[in-house]
Structure 1
């Protein structure tokens, strides 16, 4: 039985990489720190590791409430400390009276510096406070190159993680009944829109499944999937609880409040 059958075809490359991390720890008997992983990738690493007693695993991204975390895989002799995750917390100072910074502005700027998305963790915004988490290994580059967000001149400074913005994650759970588990069908029901509009959103590239853009309207949804729709927010599939008497799927979803 192939391990790939438990995952989507497009996840094969990541699965191979994660499997190599596990083998590396076994071969070298030394810890392995990854880049930032999104929640789906974290779930895959957990699944691959299973009950392997030779390799242990911890995730950390700066706070309990963040989504993107680095993974530390290590042999049994190693006792990890938070410093082993090599994270930096940055605060952005900007002219708050004249400009409002949004998540997309900050992410766009960070990506425009030529660094991989995997080198950044969560971007945290509360009122007019803006912070982001990054891998320590890019500290020097960030300090030398991050001078503007959009057209606004900014400065960044490192902050201790005791000063991290606490962003509340409120999910409201409720059941849907859907005729199929196709992405367009689940999305239409979750957002209370027509299936045609759901399809249009997907084809237009406005939908992400498990943090990756998809244009496959017929993609079958699974437990644990996170669906993000530009302009509509995010929902996640908590459980799929079989079929009703009318042969429809009963799906428990959570939507961000």
Structure 2
């Protein structure tokens, strides 16, 4: 077991134990997909009820909520949503997810304090913990070359979720290399280069085996190419190939 995993397990156990002993709700920092997998593997051994929350239904980064019995149906996760918009929209240059994340982290904020960043045109919605919301609201004044204004989002329900391109096709099997070739229209050789150069991650964990089998719901990212959700397989073609569906982030 790697040291980072040991530290995470210890921290989650401490939070669960304190929540149980003091009978109060407690919350972790935001976890990536790999860290969530670690949490789920140990959840049944924790002394209190737990659930993952990210601020919206399709959230990727989530916090763990440790909840005493009396709080299980009442506790609202402590997640703030900050709307980041250009001060002069007419003259604003396009900014990427990396631009927004870099500007936020440059304030000295740890990545674990921030969740997903959702882009809607030239506006970004940042999910974060209350402990850093004030800093972002007061100190984030530029993203890229754009002066920006930050405020708490009024109506969280109307915040747009991520948009996807649905890709369907047939593959010989649900091997990682076959699905990657379909998702990014790459040759098997190019796919092999991506995998061997440690650019491919499944649920936040680096995968270096072309033969790795994907399962429904797996989130796959390739550095430099993007990210998709594998939705699973369907019927077989007359030639015995498997039809699969992919939701590719746009």
* Range of TM-score over shorter length: 0.7 to 0.9
CA deviation after TM superposition for structure 1 residue 142, in Å: 1.9
The Cα of 1:229 is off from its aligned counterpart by 2.4
1:118 aligns with 2:112: yes
Q: Are 1:87 and 2:89 matched, yes or no?
A: no
> 2-side partners of 1:10 and 1:217: how far apart?
23
Q: Give the alignment's TM-score, normalised by structure 1.
A: 0.74
Gaps of 5+ in 2: none
- How many pairs does the alignment contain? 244
Contact map agreement 1:65 1:169 (CA 8 A) in 2: no
* 2:227 aligned to which of 234, 253, 256: 234
Contact (CA 8 Å) 1:176, 1:190: kept in 2 or not?
no
Q: Cα deviations across residues 162-207 of structure 1 (Å, max 9, x unaligned)?
A: 46522255473746544684x4454235433222211333455643
Residue by residue, what CA displacement relative to the aligned partner does 1:29-55 show, whole Å, maximum 9, x if unpaired? 4322011123453344334223x6942
The aligned residue for residue 155 of structure 1 is 149
Give TM-score, length-normalised by structure 2.
0.75
Whole-angstrom distance in 1 between the partners of 2:118 and 2:59:
9
Structure 1 residue corresponding to 2:166, chosen from 151, 155, 172: 172
- Asked if the contact 1:60/1:71 (under 8 Å) is kept, the reply is yes
What residue ranges of structure 1 are gaps of 5+ in the alignment? Answer: none
Task: Name the structure 1 match of 2:212.
Answer: 220
SS of equivalent to 2:109:
coil
1:1-257 correspondence runs (5 A): 12-13=5-6, 14-50=8-44, 54-79=47-72, 81=74, 84-94=76-86, 95-98=88-91, 99-162=93-156, 164-167=158-161, 169-170=163-164, 172=166, 174=168, 177-178=171-172, 181=175, 183-184=176-177, 186-203=179-196, 206-211=199-204, 214=206, 216-218=208-210, 220-223=212-215, 224-230=217-223, 232-239=225-232, 252-256=244-248
